[in-house]
Amino acid sequence: MYSECHLRKIQERVAASPIRHFLLSSILGLLGLAFPIAAAQARAPGQSADQGEALLSDAKSLFQQRRFAEADRAVRGYLKDHPNSADGHFLLGHILFREIQAQAKELEPQFPAQTHGPMASARIAASTSSEASVPKDAQALAKASLAEFTAGAKFHDPSAVDLKVVAFDYVLLVDYPDADKWLTKMLEWAPNDSEGWYYLGRTKYNENRFAEAVSAFQQCLKLDPQNVKAEDNLGLSFAGLGRNEEAAAAYHRAIAWQEQSLAKNPGPYIDLGSLLIDQNRPQEAITFFLRAIEIAPRESRTHELLGKAYTRVGDLPKAQSELEKAIELSPQAPNLHCMVAPVYRKQGLAEKAKTEYERCAALTGTHSVPETPRQ
pLDDT tens digit string along 137-183?
899 999 999 999 999 999 999 999 999 999 999 999 999 999 999 99
Contacts of residues 161-166 at CB distance under 8 Å and 24 or more positions apart, as own/partner, are 161/22, 161/24, 161/33, 161/34, 161/35, 161/36, 161/190, 162/35, 162/36, 162/90, 162/93, 162/94, 163/189, 164/33, 164/190, 164/193, 164/196, 165/33, 165/93, 165/94, 165/97, 166/1, 166/2, 166/93
Question: Domains, the chain, ranges and CATH?
Answer: 1-186 (1.25.40), 297-375 (1.25.40.10)
Distance CA 368, CA 238 (A): 38
Q: How high is the pLDDT of residue 375? A: 38
Quote the percentage of the chain above a pLDDT of 90. 72
User: Is the per-residue pLDDT at 122 higher than 80?
Assistant: no
Q: What's the rounded mean pLDDT across residues 310-329?
A: 98
Q: How high is the pLDDT of residue 366? A: 57
Distance CA 97, CA 165 (A): 7
User: Is the per-residue pLDDT at 327 higher than 70?
Assistant: yes
CA nearest neighbour of 231 among 277, 269, 281: 269
Q: How high is the pLDDT of residue 64? A: 93
Distance CA 76, CA 73 (A): 5
Task: Dump pLDDT digits (tens) for 208-230.
Answer: 999 999 999 999 999 999 999 99
Q: What's the rounded mean pLDDT across residues 306-329?
A: 98
Q: How high is the pLDDT of residue 323? A: 98
